[in-house]
Structure 1
């Protein structure tokens, strides 16, 4: 008998583990053991599945760094026992969780795949079964005794994405996620097609789990008419250590004197300012237009084609690691887990 993959299924909460009270129409969590009972097809997969469930299922809107540490710790604790991990998670903040876990789990040599659903598993037209079954199947893939997927991913609606490249784009369609700047790692159809050329290279170093995250971050989405007082309140706040500026187009921003002076003051205070485009796809190209030249001159960090979710995760990770000011910009602008070009 060949060596079957062992998969640990971690249920954190989310729609996939909900049932509807048809009298009130309200969704509520149900016993996780019943989730597996509702999908007998899982017995046909060529792998062993064990489960772990949060005692209090979490709506992903309540996800925070403590929960991320808990998930990463579970992977660390069971890393030698299992060949892969599937994390069931609410879709609303799944891209944030997938992004931060990619940084927390350094030298990952096994799959950690996040998935969930738009409809509860008991609904007639649910997407939960396909997402769960295929996520487990992908997590169990091996070649020459080694896992095929060796990074943190997100699986939803027939596509496997690099987790830190994703964004939730739709609250109603089954195709809830997109990876605008990086192609899918695998696609599920009649056959399961893995795009090996896009996978991260294998690390030969042992897994290292980083549990220190610093969430003293502000995200400022620019809009025409935004005032000095609003930006100053966030950017210059004593508790804020880093600011993500969601700029226009290819990284463009107002050239008003007050705007430039605020950024100068923030950087002088030792804060890190990151330029990320608010467009769904594309990349920041500071200096390409006059309206971004001043940001380049001020040495604002170039977020390139990183998503806001991954930028938040990367800042929490780097700040938590205590990365020094002299190298912070260089390290942020370097791809660490395939999150940017």
Structure 2
């Protein structure tokens, strides 16, 4: 596997990775990505050409929304034929949401789009930014027999490349900030890059990139907890215009069996609200009907989220709701894997 002659586009959206500490004042300021090779001379060993596209107004990842996802996707769409791979520099807080969204938006993707960021600024003494950035570029440039090795949206952090739509952020302080609870690693970085080829997504050959740009934002996430009341649930499902809900249930998809609770869900489904059952456990899968506590949900037609993450479920829902498909087809499409998210 080599990186020779690969062309990689860095897309800087914002986040800690783009900050540098001024040691005289102690203040953080924006890193000048135009001087990338001067700041990180190690990049010159990669044998690939690196270009940079910086967002004019950098985005704190807490402010990230579908409009920004479209802006990132449009850069990739515009430059798709000019580059072999893309690295998206992004704040870590909402990175799993963005990586999930882009995986669904970039229909027919056959090149690497690697999301990365850092817990410490790039100029910090003990920063994780340099390693994350260098290896992400290497992964985006990686080819075998002239073909990109990675052909999906990935997320690279602390020596590990994950499938983007399988990740979730689990730690605000450790360098190992992300995990992929239900899908194995794609690549592990040690003395050598260990590529787990059997885990990589294999797109259909000769696909053409099409970018989906519409999102239904009248959606919500509801986490179950012991003591949830009818008043709260009824008020929640009475939100005007609500189209879809990701319901975070217990264990393998279990929820209260009280009649008022089930009736509330039936009424919501009757109003045309799509409800997807995902587990609030960090790993594992929804298995509706395994226990009596989920049998009723299965019977009323609640969508089985299987082992999808909440981040992936909400972004998939936002996109599928804009496809104007029948409720039955929505359920079928949601329960099947589009880009390896289930």
TM-score by length of 1: 0.96
Contact preservation (8 Å) 1:218, 1:235:
no
Q: Which residue of 2 aligns with 1:196?
A: 197
The answer for unaligned runs of 5 or more in structure 2 is none
* 1:60, distance to aligned residue in structure 2 (A): 0.3
- 1:231 and 2:240 are equivalent in the alignment: no
Q: 1:25 to 1:269 in 2, by over 3 A?
A: farther
Structure 2 equivalent of residue 38 of structure 1: 39
The answer to whether the 8 A contact 1:220-1:246 is kept is: yes
Counterparts of residues 105-116 of structure 1 (less than 5 Å): 105-116=106-117
Answer yes or no: is 1:268 the counterpart of 2:255: no
Q: Give the structure 2 partner of residue 318 of structure 1.
A: 320
CA-atom RMSD in angstroms: 1.5
Could you tell me how far apart the structure 2 residues matched to 1:198 and 1:166 are? 15
Question: Aligned partners of 1:50 and 1:22: how far apart in 2?
Answer: 28
Q: CA distance change for structure 1 residues 220 and 100 in 2, over 3 Å: closer, same or farther?
A: same
Q: 2:112 touches 2:151 (CA, 8 Å); kept in 1?
A: yes
Look up the match of 1:56.
57
Which 5+ residue runs of structure 1 have no aligned equivalent?
A: none
For the residue of structure 2 that corresponds to 1:86, the secondary structure is: strand
Deviation at 1:15, TM superposition (A): 0.2
Q: Secondary structure at the match of 2:216?
A: coil
The correspondence of residues 146-295 of structure 1 with structure 2, limited to 5 A, is 146-203=147-204, 204-295=206-297
CA distance in 2, matches of 1:56, 1:193: 36
* Per-residue deviation, 1:326: 2.3
**Residue 246 (structure 1) shift:** 0.3
1:199-246 per-position Cα deviation (integer Å, ceiling 9, x unaligned): 111322211110111121110001101112222222231221000110
Q: 1:259 to 1:195 in 2, by over 3 A?
A: same
Q: Secondary structure at the match of 2:330?
A: helix
CA deviation after TM superposition for structure 1 residue 117, in Å: 0.3
Write out per-residue CA displacement over residues 124-171 of structure 1, whole angstroms, 9 at most, x where no aligned residue. 000000000000001101111110100000000000000000000000
Shift of 1:34: 4.5
Within 5 Å, give how 1:136-147 maps onto structure 2.
136-147=137-148
Deviations 1:80-104 (A, max 9, x none): 0000000000000000000000000
CA distance in 2, matches of 1:16, 1:38: 13
Q: 1:288 to 1:123 in 2, by over 3 A?
A: same
Partner residue in 2 for 1:125: 126
The alpha carbon displacement at 1:324 in A equals: 2.0
| In structure 2, distance between residues paired with 1:3 and 1:20 | 33
Following superposition, the deviation at residue 31 of structure 1 comes to 3.5
* CA distance in structure 1 between the aligned counterparts of 2:225 and 2:39, rounded to whole angstroms: 47
Contact kept? 1:35, 1:121, Cα under 8 Å: no
Distance 1:221 1:168 in 2: 17
Q: CA deviation at 1:24?
A: 7.8
Tell me how far apart the structure 1 counterparts of residues 207 and 133 of structure 2 sit (CA, whole Å): 30
2:13 equivalent to 1:12: yes
Structure 2 distance, partners of 1:25, 1:255, is: 56
TM-score by length of structure 2 reads 0.96
Identify which of 295, 301, 304 aligns with 1:302: 304
Contact 1:169–1:177 under 8 Å retained in 2: yes
Give the aligned partner of residue 70 of structure 1. 71
2:272 is paired with a residue whose SS is coil
**1:317 Cα deviation after fit:** 1.1
